[in-house]
Structure 1
Amino acid sequence: MITRRSLLGGLAAGAAASGIALAGRANGAPAPSAAPRGPARSAAGMPLHLVNHSGAYANSSVWIYVVGNDGTQQVHVTPDGELKPVALADNGPDGFTDYAIPLAASGTTTLQLPRMSGRIYTALGGKLKFKAVEDGNGKAALAYPAGWVAGDPNYDVLHDCAEFTYNSGGMYCNTTMVDMFSVPLAIQLTGAKDQTTGTLKDGARDRVFADVRAADGFDRLVIGDRRVIAPGHGLDSGLFAPDYLAPAIDEAWSAYAAKDLSVTTNAGTFTGRVRDGKLVFTVPQGLKGPSGGAAPTGTVSFDKPSTRDVLFCDGTLAAPNDGTLGPIAAILGAALNRSTLTAHAAQPTTDPATFYRERLTHHYAKAMHAATRDGRAYGFAFDDVAGFASYIEDPAPKEITLTLTPF
């Protein structure tokens, strides 16, 4: 399964000096091609239907952007359904590109979605400003909106996005709240079967804003009626306490200094204990690595994570694709975000009734899961652990529909 952690290929969300998110390399994906900019080509693929049921904005006030990477270079889809490379020359007199795709005057808008990895942005009430820049290799790339940064040129624009990878293996897509939540979006994917995810309950947008605002320490993450930003970004912006989860993390490390922690992945079950401040797991003999070869023997260990490590699922909880440390990191990160690690010595926990029950918990993710009809959301990057992410895939996709659902 392709998870969000590997979904986007060339779409890394690195921070540019301007505070804009910069699309670059991720997970070892190839950098944009060094070849000269080629001509636009037909975006042959499958139909992408865009439906505006927001009830708050007319079609004439909604714009769509399909941007990403085709495996060799950064690209965007034009209103005419062509796939074009990003170019510095696309920046206009204002210093930004105009890659906006307007919706049809009424009803459904349909265009062809090519094979690529990327994001489908929705902007309501105003256009987004994507800036074409040079990446670290001197190639054309895009500086993406960063709605959680007050100085970002798109900060005042109501916007959100869905993510996808469409390749020879099929379609892999999700709605995401990992960075922020603003516009209710739902995805319907039709192919070998008919699947939908991301749909909010009636009135749930207001409920998310209210629930996050009411949670102790989370209130400053609510930016008017525009968006709620994820606590990790709030931490980086001085809007969220950098040591918020420290007592819960300390409690877990203390608990497993006195008893074993069992973590089961696709590769097997690992047993861990805290020794000299590190959570150390024994690698079972005969374990296979991700490529089928023998996995490293001995132990894998984790330093005690910080609140930031937990919220971003990074730092000491970074998850390499190594078949051992990576899967354990993901499960530990999910357990800490869901506040189940201390109370449940066998991980991962799979009963959502046990999630977010502690006072110190990820109240933002809790609110997002409570808001969706299927209970699934991407409130943090490891939310796919045990299948709780707003993610769907299909090996034989025929069409995909992105719907702006009612506010």
Structure 2
Amino acid sequence: MSGSTTLSVRGRPWRGGRRPVLIFTVLAAVLASLALVWTQSPARAADTLLSQGKPATASSTENAGTPASAAVDGNTGTRWSSAAADPQWLQVDLGSSQTITSVALNWETAYAKSFKIQTSANGTTWTDVYSTTTGTGGNQTLAVNGSGRYVRMYGTVRATQYGYSLWEFQVYGSGGAVPPAACGTANAAQGHPATASSTENAGTPASAAVDGNTGTRWSSAFSDPQWIQVDLGSSQTVCQVGLNWEAAYATAYQIQVSDSGTGGWTTIYSTTTATGGTQTLNITGTGRYLRVNGTARATAYGYSLWELAVHTTGGGTTTPPTTPPDDDFWGSTGDIPAAHNVMELKILNRTNGQYPDSQVYWSFNGTVHSIAEQPYFDMPANSSGRMYFYLGSPNSQYYDFIEFTIGPNVFNGNTTRVDAWGLPLAIRLHTHDGQDVQLGDSQDLFNQSREATFAQFQAAVPQQFKVLAQTQAPYRIIAPGSDPSFREGGANANYFTAYANSVGVNEPTSNIFGCAGSLAGDPGMCAALNRHTANLPSSQWEDPSKFYTGGDPANWYAKFWHDHSINHLAYGFPYDDVAGQAAYASLQNPQWMEIAVGW
């Protein structure tokens, strides 16, 4: 970790608590903002205010007095404010898809220097309709052209040491619902992780039905019911499903969608009179996972598909936000005992029934217990430490850890993927003054099977990185710097060489992944190389919108964990904290922390 970049979250005074010497500055800002409104605001005679009073959510809140709803209540005396970290977002649900014509932002003094306005049909896949890196705060009215049910402000760089704060966030539009988007031609299932209730043999895996090859197939055991499902990567609006059956087809089956892949299935098509062959079904449904659930076979054999194709209405290319786990995931906090030392820890079993509490172990400073024996730990001050988590036994190969230091009145810690990923881990940290911060893996990794995560990683990364999910499988997905193929003499030893040399860096690939050698003292360059921004002007090295957009070479291992971490914050390499991208927190007055352990 870099010692120079710290994500510090703390409270700050309300508007009434500002120093009197700031009055003239604030007055000048108000006058300037009035001038901005006069010159920048377009006529909105035909526009309708769509957002007021609608449900609003945010990536975080500074405290209970600054909720997301305060930015859409029509009251300029109340506000939303976030935690003091980048990035943060505020979104509003308009209730149905609308044509968006303008967005008005009334910033408090804690404004965004860089932010985007984005729209979405489903709240997970986002399209940029406005972007700036030179925000000036005050009152802004932005003419935009877009449509969607959800609209959000996505802040990437703060203008102050505090968070992001809006007195009002107003979305205007024509007031008419938008017709459904056209059905896409691309197969959203191809190459994505697929699983099935069973396979006939090793030569007919589930993956063969989504490989784009009509000469390979999935086939099941010879019994009813059977299913095959595909993970689309994020929630999608499905408009068409194509089935290319082998001779062993289903006479009765359903097409179903789900957000979790483990339950909550919604049937969007059903038949009891299917005839096999090639079928194209025009249907409508939304979910991340889609499955074909066969209930009656046409032959004595199983179910068999040459190909399963899924078409969607599409959307933007922006990486969807990873919403922090909900209260059901974290469970009750009322039973957490008061700490006698610095803070109380509660360890949660979130292995989805794979392991009982008696087989989920935690270890710290020589102390080892299962959750069944001791779910709480009264944490004293310590100079540095790791807490390990094991599944099955106290010395199991299935393990992972978090890192932290705890002072008499402060917590500093992170969930790290610098060396490897072994288990889904997430932490929720709560302070005596009401701050509540979540870090770690996003809920999708907890919801899905371990096999699905390994398959999802391999489907998401380039060929050179697929070995990382094989070298120590099924225990860990290792970092590229830990794999022999990226070290001297390995097949990928020169992966970064040409790119690094082009920007004046003469270090081996393993040192670039590990920020070692000359890069140990140059966090900015190491981060820029891993994110493929080193070829850009240095002023853009820390712009998150540029990260991983330039193609190879890049640290695709790190990107995968950012894509599947709460608020996209992850420690994928040693200097991943540059530009505030690491899953790291430093909070005063810690009260308790929950640690969720997955499978």
TM, length-normalised to structure 2: 0.40
- Letter of the aligned partner of 2:499 in structure 1? A
> For each residue in 1:236-263, what CA deviation from the matched residue of structure 2 results, as whole angstroms up to 9, or x when unmatched?
597762221112112223xxxxxxxxxx
Q: 1:187 aligns with which of 427, 444, 448?
A: 427
- Is the 8 Å Cα contact of residues 344 and 379 (structure 2) preserved in structure 1? yes
How far is the alpha carbon of 1:388 from its aligned partner? 0.6
Residue 166 of structure 1 aligns to a residue whose secondary structure is strand
Indicate whether 1:170 and 2:410 are aligned: yes
How far is the alpha carbon of 1:178 from its aligned partner? 0.4
How far is the alpha carbon of 1:306 from its aligned partner? 2.0
Which range is displaced more, 215-224 or 341-350? Answer: 341-350
State the partner residue of 1:112: 378
How far is the alpha carbon of 1:304 from its aligned partner? 2.3
Structure 2: state its 5+ residue gaps. 8-338
What are the residue-to-residue correspondences of 1:81-96 with 2, within 5 Å?
none
State the partner residue of 2:210: none
How far is the alpha carbon of 1:347 from its aligned partner? 4.9
- Letter of the aligned partner of 1:251 in structure 2? S
- Distance of aligned partners of 1:125 and 1:186 in 2 relative to their CA distance in 1, 3 Å threshold: same
> For each residue in 1:323-343, what CA deviation from the matched residue of structure 2 results, as whole angstroms up to 9, or x when unmatched?
xxxxxx111110011111102
State the partner residue of 1:160: 400
> For each residue in 1:351-402, what CA deviation from the matched residue of structure 2 results, as whole angstroms up to 9, or x when unmatched?
2453354122111001111111310110001010011101112111111111
State the partner residue of 1:381: 574
Indicate whether 1:346 and 2:588 are aligned: no
- Distance of aligned partners of 1:240 and 1:199 in 2 relative to their CA distance in 1, 3 Å threshold: same
Q: 1:213 aligns with which of 458, 471, 476?
A: 458
- Is the 8 Å Cα contact of residues 344 and 593 (structure 2) preserved in structure 1? yes
State the partner residue of 1:283: none
- Distance of aligned partners of 1:382 and 1:119 in 2 relative to their CA distance in 1, 3 Å threshold: same
Residue 404 of structure 2 aligns to a residue whose secondary structure is strand
- Distance of aligned partners of 1:248 and 1:169 in 2 relative to their CA distance in 1, 3 Å threshold: farther
- Letter of the aligned partner of 2:357 in structure 1? N
- Letter of the aligned partner of 2:511 in structure 1? D
TM, length-normalised to structure 1: 0.57
- Distance of aligned partners of 1:216 and 1:103 in 2 relative to their CA distance in 1, 3 Å threshold: same
> For each residue in 1:98-127, what CA deviation from the matched residue of structure 2 results, as whole angstroms up to 9, or x when unmatched?
xx222126xx81111111110110011222
> For each residue in 1:170-199, what CA deviation from the matched residue of structure 2 results, as whole angstroms up to 9, or x when unmatched?
100110100000100001111141111113
- Distance of aligned partners of 1:346 and 1:224 in 2 relative to their CA distance in 1, 3 Å threshold: same
Q: What is the number of equivalent residue pairs in this alignment? A: 255
Q: 2:440 aligns with which of 198, 205, 209?
A: 198
- Letter of the aligned partner of 1:119 in structure 2? R
State the partner residue of 1:127: 394
- Is the 8 Å Cα contact of residues 342 and 591 (structure 2) preserved in structure 1? no
- Letter of the aligned partner of 2:468 in structure 1? L
State the partner residue of 1:44: 341
Q: Computing the radius of gyration over CA atoms, which structure comes out larger, 1 or 2?
A: 2
How far is the alpha carbon of 1:350 from its aligned partner? 2.2
- Is the 8 Å Cα contact of residues 438 and 566 (structure 2) preserved in structure 1? no
Which range is displaced more, 242-251 or 210-219? Answer: 210-219
- Distance of aligned partners of 1:318 and 1:196 in 2 relative to their CA distance in 1, 3 Å threshold: same
Counterpart CA distance in 2 for 1:184 and 1:336 is 27
What are the residue-to-residue correspondences of 1:233-244 with 2, within 5 Å?
233-235=482-484, 241-244=492-495
Alpha-carbon RMSD across the aligned residues, in angstroms, is: 2.9
Residue 398 of structure 1 aligns to a residue whose secondary structure is strand
Indicate whether 1:251 and 2:502 are aligned: yes
- Is the 8 Å Cα contact of residues 406 and 412 (structure 2) preserved in structure 1? yes
- Distance of aligned partners of 1:381 and 1:208 in 2 relative to their CA distance in 1, 3 Å threshold: farther
Q: Which structure has more RCO (C-alpha within 8 Å, separation ≥ 6)?
A: 1
Indicate whether 1:229 and 2:526 are aligned: no
Indicate whether 1:391 and 2:584 are aligned: yes
State the partner residue of 2:510: 308
- Is the 8 Å Cα contact of residues 411 and 588 (structure 2) preserved in structure 1? yes
Counterpart CA distance in 1 for 2:491 and 2:356 is 35
What are the residue-to-residue correspondences of 1:140-159 with 2, within 5 Å?
157-159=397-399
> For each residue in 1:307-329, what CA deviation from the matched residue of structure 2 results, as whole angstroms up to 9, or x when unmatched?
1221111111113xxxxxxxxx1
- Is the 8 Å Cα contact of residues 365 and 380 (structure 1) preserved in structure 2? yes
Residue 567 of structure 2 aligns to a residue whose secondary structure is coil
- Is the 8 Å Cα contact of residues 497 and 506 (structure 2) preserved in structure 1? no
State the partner residue of 1:359: 552
What are the residue-to-residue correspondences of 1:231-310 with 2, within 5 Å?
231-235=480-484, 241-253=492-504, 304-310=506-512
Counterpart CA distance in 2 for 1:352 and 1:211 is 23
Counterpart CA distance in 1 for 2:492 and 2:589 is 45
Indicate whether 1:58 and 2:356 are aligned: yes
Counterpart CA distance in 2 for 1:247 and 1:206 is 35
- Letter of the aligned partner of 2:355 in structure 1? Y
- Is the 8 Å Cα contact of residues 3 and 384 (structure 1) preserved in structure 2? no
- Is the 8 Å Cα contact of residues 48 and 113 (structure 1) preserved in structure 2? yes
Residue 444 of structure 2 aligns to a residue whose secondary structure is coil
Identity of aligned residues (%): 29
Which range is displaced more, 228-237 or 185-194? Answer: 228-237
